[in-house]
Amino acid sequence: MVITLPQVLAIETLHTAGMTLFAFYVLPSLDSLRGLTLTFGVGFVPAVLKMFDTQREEGRKYYIILADIVALAIQVLL
């Protein structure tokens, strides 16, 4: 699948708009603990979803899965 320049620009514009809303509208209206929790969720949710992502038919190597689990555990513990 080839992504064209207008598609990339649209995706990046939506991403930038979302991050701007998050930083300047959502975070100031929350207390520190809830803002911190939401900020951690920005990295945690993609880490969980990456564990189930396979690009190849034969699946993922065991050490890649182990690295994903370790990265997820570090995000949860810190």
Asked if residue 65 lies in contact with residue 51, where contact means CB atoms within 8 angstroms, the answer is yes
**The predicted structure's pLDDT at residue 38:** 85
Question: Does residue 56 surpass a pLDDT of 70?
Answer: no
Range of the domain at 11: 1-30
Same domain, residue pair 23 and 35: no
Same domain, residue pair 42 and 76: yes
Summarised one tens digit per residue, pLDDT across range 20-47 is: 999 999 999 999 999 988 888 777 777 7
Same domain, residue pair 17 and 39: no
How far lies 51's CA from each of 5, 14, 24, 45, 48, in Å? Answer: 29, 25, 31, 10, 6
Q: Does the pTM of the predicted model rise above 0.85?
A: no
In sequence order, the 6+-apart residues with CB closer than 8 A to the CB of 40 are 75
Q: Which two structure tokens, joined as six digits, stand for 58? A: 């034969």
In the chain, the number of structural domains is: 2
Same domain, residue pair 19 and 37: no
